[in-house]
A = this chain, B = another copy of it.
Amino acid sequence: MRRIRVSLRKEVDASYDIVVEAGLMDRLAKELSGLVSGGRCAVVCDFTTRELFVPALLDRAEDAGLSCDVLDVPPGEASKSLAVFEGLLGRLRDLRYTRKDFVLALGGGMVGDLAGFTAGCYMRGLPVVQAPTTLLSQVDSSVGGKVAVNLPGAKNYVGLFHQPKKVLIDVRTLQSLPRRELLSGLAEVIKHAVIADAGFFEFLEQGREALLTLDEEAVVRTVATCCAIKAGIVERDEREAGPRMVLNYGHTIGHAIEDAAGYALTHGECVAYGMRAEARIANALGLFPESDLARQERLLDGYGLALDPLDMDPERLIDLAHGDKKNAGGRITFILPTAIGQTTRRDDVPLDLVREVLEATLARA
């Protein structure tokens, strides 16, 4: 018997910058041209972001010495599929892309996930630059390197950790965002504040008008703060070994509601309901003070989030929250707030309490 050791212990540096700026799109071509010398850029976008942002990019590409190819896909979650992934790979191949080239993900979360996964697999990995254009993707999915497509009935089941070379965020793209999408993003913004930053929570309390009218200074601060919070968490736990789970606040219940609603609600709306329920659970367990609970309730009210009663069966939501974990002992893991800006992880929440809180939350009692 012979034993050979392959020693692959080494220092790697996948660090990158996130730039948050009002009007960044105007100089996108220039930002990109500096990144990869001589490389071509495959711009993955959907029909919407193609119309809104690609003409300006192409207008300026030549001057910036940037060669672009536009690879567009239909908008919507249905494009986050292996079939569309395969189509993009075929187009990169037809265009003779090599590892000297790179991919730009120009769009919301679907585009970022799809383009990032495609870049990560094509020829065993091209660099990807994320240019998220929705609030949800700017504050959440574009940072951290998680990319994926869906299997039928199994969201994000095929993917990678493929860190971007850079994240380029122009908050002006939010001006074209439907209000409902904006609010969906604000739910994740509020989540970042509750889990990690009491000062930021206060800013959200006071800055409601500024944010809802897309005041640029307020939006830049908001997006940058969320990115910094998420960056800090990702730095401690790039591959979801543990600490990154704090980002799941509101998501245990939120995902169950999202499933039960058949995706008729936006992700942020569901997370808002989830935060309401999970904060109440934390409060009932004596973990989260009444006054903090009231502040979160008021903040969600103020942004018009999770206001309507939902006609859903708590029992079904509990089943969905269990998901595959049912086999592992029947416990549901929750991230629960202990104060504005702090959380704890619990997997011993009595199901009777979950049921009771869900009934009250769904009825908006």
Closest residue on chain B to residue A235 by CB atoms: B7
With a CB–CB cut-off of 8 A, which chain B residues contact A24?
1
Are B123 and A2 touching (Cβ within 8 A)?
Answer: no
- How distant is A39 from chain B, measured CB to nearest CB, in Å? 12
Residue-wise, chain A 316-328 has the 8 Å CB interface mask toward B (1 for contact) of: 0000000010010
- How distant is A355 from chain B, measured CB to nearest CB, in Å? 25
A228 to B148, CA, bound (A): 35
Are A324 and B96 touching (Cβ within 8 A)?
Answer: yes
A6 to B19, CA, bound (A): 11
A86 on the B face (CB < 8 A):
yes
Are B324 and A98 touching (Cβ within 8 A)?
Answer: yes
Are B160 and A120 touching (Cβ within 8 A)?
Answer: yes
With a CB–CB cut-off of 8 A, which chain B residues contact A98?
324
Binds B, one of A151-159, A190-198, A283-291: A151-159
A264 on the B face (CB < 8 A):
no
Closest residue on chain B to residue A223 by CB atoms: B2
With a CB–CB cut-off of 8 A, which chain B residues contact A121?
121, 158-160
Binds B, one of A9-17, A179-187, A294-302: A9-17
Are A18 and B6 touching (Cβ within 8 A)?
Answer: yes
A226 to B117, CA, bound (A): 33
Are B20 and A2 touching (Cβ within 8 A)?
Answer: yes
Are A8 and B13 touching (Cβ within 8 A)?
Answer: yes
A21 to B11, CA, bound (A): 32
With a CB–CB cut-off of 8 A, which chain B residues contact A221?
2
Partner of A15 from the list B9, B82, B89 (CB cut-off 8 Å) is B9
Are A125 and B161 touching (Cβ within 8 A)?
Answer: yes
Residue-wise, chain A 217-236 has the 8 Å CB interface mask toward B (1 for contact) of: 00011001001100100110
With a CB–CB cut-off of 8 A, which chain B residues contact A89?
82, 151, 157-158
Closest residue on chain B to residue A163 by CB atoms: B8
Given contacts A151-B93, A159-B124, A160-B120, whether A2 and B21 have CB atoms under 8 Å apart is yes
Q: Enumerate 6 A-B pairs (CB-CB under 8 Å) in ascending A order.
A: A2-B221, A3-B20, A9-B14, A89-B151, A90-B152, A121-B159
